[in-house]
Structure 1
Amino acid sequence: MTTLQERPHTALLVIDVQQGVVASAHERDAVVATIAALVDKARAADVPVVWVQHSDEGLKQGSDDWQYVSELPRRDAEPLVHKNHGDSFEGTDLEQVLAAAGVGHLVVTGAETDACIRSTIHGAFVRGYDVTLVADAHTTNDNSKWGAPTPDQVIAHTNLYWQYHSAPGRTAAVTEAKQVTFGV
């Protein structure tokens, strides 16, 4: 029940699953495999797959670390959004890409849970989108030596609080990948 009028479609958003971002991420291989299965499921249902790729001083555009992981090949026809901020909407053309496809509901996957995932799900929600976070399809790195909770706790907490997020006319949800149907 998005607040975005005339936008009944859903898109799968794959955020920052780049070599340098997820090289040592929590349960990296399992999460990447889960995202790959969701990409296949979305493509089979003719649901748009939108790729988001981050760059900044520590993640130089064009570098090996900047590249998407090899297990997730993007098709040329699938939109690629380049970003420099945590929220995938800030300073990008993501809103225009989604509007052109009539998308009002996002199914969100990727990295890092406590940075770009959180920023983007909140950014989408305040912009009027329904947002489903795929519980087992996002990950983060271990920042506990700087006082953060361990990655499993960060992921669990994000899944917990997002399922109870609310606002008028919008829906926030958390679901396991196996329960994502894309209307099929």
Structure 2
Amino acid sequence: MSASASAPASASAPRRVLLAMDFQHGIADRFAGTEVLDRAAEAVDAARAADIPVVWVRVAFRPGYPEVSPSSGFARLTGAGDAMTEQSAATAIHASFSPREDEPVVVKRRISAFTGSDLEVLLRGLQADSLVLAGISTSGVVLSTLRQAADLDFTLTVLADACADSDEEVHRVLTQKVFPRQAEVTTVQEWADGLGA
């Protein structure tokens, strides 16, 4: 039997990517405490240890906000000066994290990590078929990305304690009632423990 005829046992293993979404100063700094940042850092460490690619996602705009139409929900940003532009401190990855040089940072222009970014192309390049989601906020980037990723046929995992929302009840309902319809919802510790299995 030729070497090409027998596939390695790991060939059917999911090709996972961890999406660390909107962990940037202008968003994370609005949340009290660092618990969600600590859990997200643990998820990143676990992914790196398991050779799972980490892709960072941040929301930012060009100076003058040319991507924002007057009818957009983001229109209020046009009066905020450079607060959410690509070079502003508010859109920088939070100081709690240190993305490695080999970890892509995707810039998006809307709520979903896919909208206005090259994320889908990047994931195809990584041959990903399974996404692990962590981000702020649960009702924003996590919900929007989960829905779009499900429509794109990715297998999904949500790390509930590496997500946060300004409304704790909304976070609870999404992670306990809504997300389980399309994703496995777990904790960072449970997910990390499963990587060694």
TM-score normalised by the chain length of structure 1: 0.83
Out of 174, 190, 195, the position equivalent to 1:179 is 190
Q: Distance in 1 between matches of 2:137 and 2:195?
A: 27
Deviations 1:123-168 (A, max 9, x none): 1011110111111111123xxxxxxxxx2111101101234314xx
- Which runs of no fewer than 5 residues in structure 2 stay unpaired? 1-11, 62-76, 78-82
SS at match of 1:164: helix
Give 2:135's aligned amino acid: G
Give 2:168's aligned amino acid: D
- Which runs of no fewer than 5 residues in structure 1 stay unpaired? 1-5, 142-150, 167-171
Look at both structures and tell me which one has the larger radius of gyration over its CA atoms.
2
Out of 151, 171, 196, the position equivalent to 1:126 is 151
Matches within 5 A, 1:30-179: 30-56=35-61, 57=77, 59-141=84-166, 151-166=167-182, 172-179=183-190
| Superposed structure 1 runs of 4+ greater than 6 Å apart | none
Q: Distance in 2 between matches of 1:48 and 1:71?
A: 19
Q: Which has the higher contact order (CA 8 A, sep 6+)?
A: 1
- The change in CA–CA distance for 1:68 and 1:38 in structure 2 (over 3 A counts) is same
Give 1:158's aligned amino acid: L
Q: Distance in 2 between matches of 1:72 and 1:110?
A: 13
Aligned length, in residue pairs: 164
Q: Distance in 1 between matches of 2:51 and 2:88?
A: 31
Deviation for aligned residue 1:117: 1.2
Percentage of pairs with the same residue: 29
Give the alignment's Cα RMSD to 1 decimal: 1.7
SS at match of 2:89: coil
Q: Distance in 1 between matches of 2:110 and 2:59?
A: 8
Of Structure 1 and Structure 2, the greater strand share is in 1
1:19 and 1:67 in contact (8 A); partners too: yes
TM-score normalised by the chain length of structure 2: 0.78
Q: Which moved more, 1:155-164 or 1:97-106?
A: 155-164
Deviations 1:63-94 (A, max 9, x none): 11111111111011101111011111122111
